């Protein structure tokens, strides 16, 4: 199933961790409604965990793309203003690099190859150091400097020779003295910087100079041109004087020779801001390269960019408890909550639109909002909302189901063009199939964590139409419960294996005192770690309230 790319600035509509069908379908259908009502504030459906098989079936059936995964909604580098500073070629001269830094008010340049792969960085300090160390006459040779760089920084003109692909192969020699002095100073292959005097030019040519730079002139005698061509000597003219040209030549060296490469400090779009800030505080660099999802360079960030942080804006559906929300919820901005559960522990920085209705499914509330706003419901959106209601109400068998849920579901079935009973049987059959799944995958299919006073406990639920699927799921999850309990640091874990057709649940549990707690809560006996609970099919209305009531009595 194809994944959708989410606009980083879009409002993310997201359900709880370990999402069920209602959580996913509510995110998709509510995003759709919000986008119709206000296209200028785009919303995108997201998910906080992996899908169970029931939800996968629903999305495949109605051909709906998978929402993007967001297990952590704390701010990341993608949430700051990344400066789109263009990458530069490694052959760029030091002078051009400095001019770019000056013009862009940037003290760091990122060097990239032709495919935007980051190969190094150079800072204004590196440029300054290179310039101060530029007295070495072999600098341009050692840096394999192109003649094109020399022409570029000197505003030069090639009078003789072809410089394409050619690099400096000798020393830099300033021929400011007499012809005799020039002859003594120059060796074959050297770059001779001379005046516009013909004697100086001839002397450099006679000694085998590889390149002659003629200063303060743009002319060359025909005789000199002919002799230079015969000897394969490149001749470049520049309007600059000998002194200035000599000073500038070292700045022709390519920045790749001075760049820092290997073990570069880079961030990706997914790097947490907290981590990036910690790295920035530990080094003296001001700007840091940012790479996209394909590892390509896209820009830089600095400490100043961190001040312009854009918190992720969220709309929460099907939950309002912090323990069930995606990681980093405290660092995000919650705009709305659409839910049908008890009020939990989530706090917000400011007022939010909070719609909490005692119905069996969040999508029932979303359906009401479509009707209230007179928005037409497409067959696809109807199918998703129908699936969520059937799932959450166990096809109207759950005590959480209200007449409102059933009326909504039957109307949505008409709009979706499906036979309600046949579709429900098919959906539950796919959801209950655990073949090929690991214990952890089945366990996390529909699992939530709750808090009562000092006690934290988890309750999972699987709903099955056939005994075969239910027993197979119990065999997988049962041995896994103690491991999950220890990993999550909870007091108890309970897992409901619900028989939809017979409206009963076999409850498995883990944690010291879990069996005694269940025995007191439901006035039942627990045999071999399993409690049979006839008529108990709802986690929200039958399991959680009963457990919390007994836990509160124990804590008083």
Task: For 500-551, write each residue's pLDDT tens digit.
Answer: 889 999 999 999 999 999 999 999 999 999 999 999 999 988 999 999 999 9
Spell out a b/e string for 3-15, using b for 16 or more CB atoms within 10 Å of the CB, else e.
eeebebebbbbbb
Task: Evaluate whether 418 touches 383 at the Cβ level (below 8 Å).
Answer: yes
What letter does residue 260 receive in the DSSP assignment? B
**Is the per-residue pLDDT at 45 higher than 90?**
yes
What pLDDT, on a 0 to 100 scale, did the predictor assign at position 217?
Answer: 85
| CA nearest neighbour of 8 among 309, 352, 328, 294 | 309
What pLDDT, on a 0 to 100 scale, did the predictor assign at position 176?
Answer: 66
pTM: 0.67
Task: Evaluate whether 503 touches 397 at the Cβ level (below 8 Å).
Answer: yes
Question: How many angstroms separate the CA atoms of 117 and 526, rounded?
Answer: 62
Number of helices (H), then strands (E), belonging to the chain: the values are 21, 21
What letter does residue 80 receive in the DSSP assignment? S
Cite the residue boundaries of each domain of the chain with CATH code 3.10.580.10.
Answer: 79-131+256-307
Which phi and psi (to 5°) does residue 507 adopt? -105, 125
Taking residues 213-229, report their average pLDDT: 90
Task: Determine the angle formed by the axes of helices 514-522 and 544-555, rounding to 10 degrees.
Answer: 110
Name the β-bridge partners of 157: 237
Question: How many angstroms separate the CA atoms of 168 and 147, rounded?
Answer: 7
Q: Which of 106-115, 173-182, 400-409, 479-488 has the lowest mean pLDDT?
A: 173-182
Taking residues 9-16, report their average pLDDT: 93
pLDDT-based confidence at 4, cuts 50/70/90?
Answer: very low
CATH code reported for the domain at 439-555? 3.10.310.20
Cite the residue boundaries of each domain of the chain with CATH code 3.40.1390.20.
Answer: 146-252
Tokens at 330, concatenated: 């405290």
Cα→Cα distances 432→267, 308, 439, 548, Å: 42, 47, 14, 28
| CA nearest neighbour of 198 among 154, 164, 235, 145 | 235
Q: What class is the 11-75+312-432 domain?
A: alpha beta
Percent of the chain with pLDDT over 70: 98
**Is the per-residue pLDDT at 452 higher than 80?**
yes
Taking residues 424-453, report their average pLDDT: 90
pLDDT tens-place string over residues 189-201: 999 999 888 888 8
162 exposure class (CB count in 10 Å sphere: 0-12, 13-18, 19+): exposed
Spell out a b/e string for 283-320, using b for 16 or more CB atoms within 10 Å of the CB, else e.
eebebbbbbeeeeebbbbbbeebbeeeebbbbbbbbbb
pLDDT tens-place string over residues 248-258: 998 999 999 99
Cα→Cα distances 400→30, 316, 318, 390, 547, Å: 22, 21, 14, 12, 17
Question: How many angstroms separate the CA atoms of 202 and 227, rounded?
Answer: 9
Q: Tell the CATH topology of 79-131+256-307.
A: CBS-domain (3.10.580)
Task: Evaluate whether 205 touches 228 at the Cβ level (below 8 Å).
Answer: yes
Name the β-bridge partners of 254: 93
| CA nearest neighbour of 461 among 442, 476, 475, 480 | 442
Q: How many CB atoms lie within 10 A of CB 534?
A: 12
CATH-assigned architecture of domain 146-252: 3-Layer(aba) Sandwich (3.40)
What letter does residue 65 receive in the DSSP assignment? P
Task: Evaluate whether 155 touches 174 at the Cβ level (below 8 Å).
Answer: no
pLDDT-based confidence at 304, cuts 50/70/90?
Answer: confident
Tokens at 302, concatenated: 């600095």
Task: Determine the angle formed by the axes of helices 379-392 and 420-432, rounding to 10 degrees.
Answer: 60
pLDDT-based confidence at 7, cuts 50/70/90?
Answer: low
**Is the per-residue pLDDT at 445 higher than 70?**
yes
**Is the per-residue pLDDT at 135 higher than 50?**
yes
């Amino acid at each position: 199933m194809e994944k959708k790319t989410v606009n980083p600035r879009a409002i993310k509509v997201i359900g709880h961790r370990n999402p069920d069908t209602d959580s996913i379908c509510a995110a998709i259908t509510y995003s759709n409604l919000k986008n119709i009502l206000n296209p200028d504030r785009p919303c995108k459906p997201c998910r906080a965990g992996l899908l169970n098989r029931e939800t996968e079936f629903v999305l495949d059936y109605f051909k709906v793309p998978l929402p993007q995964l967001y297990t952590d909604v704390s701010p990341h580098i993608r949430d700051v203003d990344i400066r789109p500073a263009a990458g530069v070629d490694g052959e760029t001269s030091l002078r051009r690099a400095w001019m770019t830094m000056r013009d862009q008010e940037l003290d760091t340049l990122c060097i990239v190859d032709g495919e935007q792969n980051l190969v190094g960085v150079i800072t204004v300090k590196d440029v300054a150091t290179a310039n101060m160390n530029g007295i070495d006459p072999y600098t341009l040779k050692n840096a394999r400097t192109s003649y094109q760089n020399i022409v570029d920084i000197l505003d030069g003109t090639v009078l003789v020779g072809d410089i394409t692909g050619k690099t400096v192969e000798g020393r830099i020699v300033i021929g400011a003295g007499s012809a005799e002095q020039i002859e003594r100073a120059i060796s074959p292959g050297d770059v001779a910087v001379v005046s516009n005097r013909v004697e100086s030019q001839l002397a450099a040519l006679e000694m085998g100079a590889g390149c002659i730079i003629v200063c303060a002139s743009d002319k060359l005698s025909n005789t000199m041109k002919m002799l230079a061509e015969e000897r394969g000597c490149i001749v470049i003219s520049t309007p600059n004087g000998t002194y200035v040209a000599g000073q500038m030549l070292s700045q022709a060296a390519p920045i790749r020779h001075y760049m820092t490469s290997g073990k570069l400090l880079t961030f990706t779009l997914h790097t947490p801001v907290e981590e990036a800030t910690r790295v920035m505080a530990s080094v003296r660099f001001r700007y840091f390269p940012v790479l996209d999802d394909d590892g390509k360079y896209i820009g830089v960030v600095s400490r100043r960019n961190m001040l312009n942080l854009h918190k992720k804006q969220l709309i929460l559906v099907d939950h309002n408890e912090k323990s069930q929300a995606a990681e980093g919820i405290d660092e995000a901005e919650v705009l709305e909550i659409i839910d049908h559960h008890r009020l939990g522990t989530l706090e917000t920085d400011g007022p939010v639109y909070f719609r909490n209705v005692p119905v069996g499914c969040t999508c029932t509330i979303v359906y009401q909002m479509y009707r209230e706003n007179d928005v037409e419901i497409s067959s696809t959106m109807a199918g998703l909302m129908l699936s969520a209601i059937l799932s959450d109400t166990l096809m109207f068998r759950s005590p959480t189901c209200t007449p409102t849920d059933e009326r909504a579901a039957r109307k949505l079935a008409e709009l979706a063009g499906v036979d309600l009973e046949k579709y429900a049987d098919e959906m539950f059959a796919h959801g209950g199939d655990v073949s090929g799944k690991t214990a952890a995958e089945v366990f996390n299919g529909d699992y939530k964590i709750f808090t009562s006073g000092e006690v934290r406990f988890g309750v999972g639920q699987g709903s099955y139409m056939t005994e075969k699927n239910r027993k197979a799921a119990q065999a997988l999850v049962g041995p896994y419960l103690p491991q999950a309990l220890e990993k999550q640091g909870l007091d108890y874990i309970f897992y409901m294996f619900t028989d939809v057709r017979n409206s009963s649940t076999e409850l498995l549990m883990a944690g010291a005192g879990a069996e005694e707690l269940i025995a007191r809560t439901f006035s039942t006996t627990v045999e071999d770690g399993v409690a049979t609970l006839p008529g108990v099919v709802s986690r929200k209305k039958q399991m959680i309230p009963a457990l919390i009531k007994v836990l509160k009595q124990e804590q008083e």
